[in-house]
Amino acid sequence: MYAVKQNETLNPRITEHFSTPFTQELLSSMNLSDDQIRQLVFGFTDDCESEVVRKAADLLRNAAKENRKIMICGDYDADGICSTAMLVDLCQRLKLTVGFYIPDRLKEGYGTNESTVIAALDKGYDFFVLVDNGVSTHQVNRRILEAGAQLLIIDHHVISEPVSADVLLHPDVLPKAYASMCSSGLVYLLVRKLGLDSEKMLQLAGVATIGDMMPLWNYNRQLVIEALQSLNRSAILQISSLLDKNGERYDEGLIAFQVVPKLNVVGRLADRANVNQVVRYLLSDQKEEILSVSTTIKQLNQLRRQLSAQMYQQSKDQITDDRLLIITHPQFHEGLVGITAGQISKETGKPTIVLAQKQDSFKGSARSSSSDLHQLLSEAKEHLLHFGGHAQAAGLEIGSDQIDDFSRAVTASVNEMLEHTDEEVIEVLHLDPSIIGFKAVEEFERCAPFGQGFERPLIMLKNVRVIRPLSNGNRSFSKWLVSLGSEEGEVVMFSDCDDSIRTASLIDVIATVTISRFSGRSKISLVAQKVSKSHGNV
């Protein structure tokens, strides 16, 4: 449900630094703190002087002096892949003997396995770095330390009980400005402390921060801004070759939609490719090899999109009026259940669990913007083999003999939870279309990057005059050329709409506003969540 609001007063700290009514209205509606406004105006600069980062750096320096053999154990998403590659690069530059391993998502699951540690110990590895995992692998951690090996854990996941390690590098033990970093960002702090940072390290850390949807304030903001600047100066070939088109300007949206999914895809489709090859790809300095592998990754991503579309269509038949959706199908791919759950949850506004059928269990992902999934699954944990995650995203596995009991328990919990929860309200800011001009939107764009914790505000425009509809035969895409006072803009909606709306002369729009750039041309673009035929009321 949308709730329309208007700013009663503008924030004087915002009007002091921003000149256009459009930017003033949008920023004032976001209830920013004085510190956040300062960051938008002056940026964030802070060199991390942390005892924990120093200890981690000293641990690696001593390992180099002692000729230790290091094993990096990572994770299969973009953050885990980038942080693993960064650490291998770092160890090689420290002249350390280094190996690495990321587990098979489908066969081994998340986190470092004890069998991996035993195999590495047998090969003489005596120093382990667990990155983007480690705070919950307690038995593995003890096994490493009991063997007399050293252990450095670099992780950002929730710590539920004390962690055993020689050094734990985690946002919880860093100053407040570093409290929401992903693992690649933490590795970059370590790299800087050792004086071995590079453009490549910076770019990988920035890509991972965007990919892991970290809040874009404080040091994360500085890191992403510097990474995007570096990418636009000279992107490493491993990133530039993943783009759909050459010559595009790097921003947070391009990274989120064109780079991150391709880094993730090999881990998702582990039955068709080995995610460790993506680490080798990021480490390679051979142009032909990089271009060849990037082509394979893009082809795999096309397959992922086809399989995801198929799963989405198979899921739509199982959408009901229930408050919780539990969806499964014999043909669902385990690596793609999270994508489908996210699509269905976004479309319906309901907590959604999508499950792939295995031989003796159901394995899947849950997504929600309205219910606390971790709490929900905790209340049904007696029916689960295991689960993990946080409020909006979680993974789970259910024994085949427990699926009915789990469904009843979790449905009852959702019903009870939602009885005490108001309907989700999405606030939209009502604006006069005449204040949306190109220079005004450009001023707002200078506040980028936008993302987690700093999303573009939704605005409502009433009685927008349509110059002409631009829609074609593609029913999943709608487009209008519209008048915004003395300027023009485009309204784009990535969904179907009624023909009466497509051909309306006046429309009401709920959208975010940005500048669209293509082939050297720039224009105002309103990316719509909802478009309706205007009835002339303001």
Concatenate the DSSP letters of all residues of 440-456 into one string: HHHHHHTTPPPBTTBPP
Q: Are 134 and 154 in contact (CB under 8 A)?
A: yes
Q: For the segment 220-276, what is each residue's pLDDT rounded down to a tens digit?
A: 999 999 999 999 999 999 999 999 988 889 999 999 999 999 999 999 999 999 999
Residue 100 phi, psi dihedral angles, 5° rounding: -150, 160
Task: Return the H-helix or E-strand segment holding 267.
Answer: helix 260-268
Peptide bond into 351 cis (omega under 30): no
Domains by residue range for the chain, with CATH: 2-41+426-533 (2.40.50.140), 51-281 (3.90.1640.30), 317-419 (3.10.310.30)
Task: Identify which of 484, 424, 429 has the alpha carbon closest to the alpha carbon of residue 457.
Answer: 429
Q: For the segment 376-388, what is each residue's pLDDT rounded down to a tens digit?
A: 898 999 999 988 7
The whole-model pTM stands at: 0.92
The per-residue pLDDT of the chain, averaged, comes to 93
DSSP 8-state secondary structure symbol assigned to residue 160: -
pLDDT string in tens for the chain (538-residue length): 788 888 889 999 999 999 999 999 999 999 999 999 999 999 998 777 899 999 999 999 999 999 999 999 999 999 999 999 999 999 999 999 999 999 999 999 889 999 999 999 999 999 999 999 999 999 999 999 999 999 999 999 988 899 999 999 999 999 999 999 999 999 999 999 999 999 999 999 999 999 999 999 999 999 999 999 999 999 999 999 999 988 889 999 999 999 999 999 999 999 999 999 999 999 999 999 999 999 999 999 999 999 999 999 999 889 999 999 999 999 999 999 999 999 999 889 899 999 999 989 999 999 997 788 888 898 999 999 988 777 788 889 999 999 999 999 999 988 887 665 555 678 899 999 999 999 999 999 999 999 999 999 999 999 999 999 986 666 678 899 999 988 999 999 987 788 889 889 999 999 999 999 877 789 999 999 999 999 865 5
Q: For the segment 419-450, what is each residue's pLDDT rounded down to a tens digit?
A: 655 556 788 999 999 999 999 999 999 999 99
Torsion sign (Cα): 528, 255, 352, 312? positive
Helices 199-211 and 218-234: crossing angle, nearest 10°?
120
Task: Return the H-helix or E-strand segment holding 210.
Answer: helix 199-211
Q: Are 433 and 484 in contact (CB under 8 A)?
A: yes
Q: Are 210 and 252 in contact (CB under 8 A)?
A: yes
Q: For the segment 466-487, what is each residue's pLDDT rounded down to a tens digit?
A: 999 986 666 678 899 999 988 9
DSSP 8-state secondary structure symbol assigned to residue 304: H
Q: Looking at beta carbons, which pairs linking 229-235 to residues 24 or more positions away fall under 8 Å?
A: 230/199, 230/202, 230/203, 230/206, 231/203, 231/206, 231/255, 233/199, 234/199, 235/203
Report how far residue 338's alpha carbon sits from residue 285's, in angstroms, rounded to the nearest whole number.
Answer: 33
**Residues paired with residue 506 on neighbouring β-strands, in sequence order:** 465
Task: Identify which of 75, 166, 76 has the alpha carbon closest to the alpha carbon of residue 127.
Answer: 166
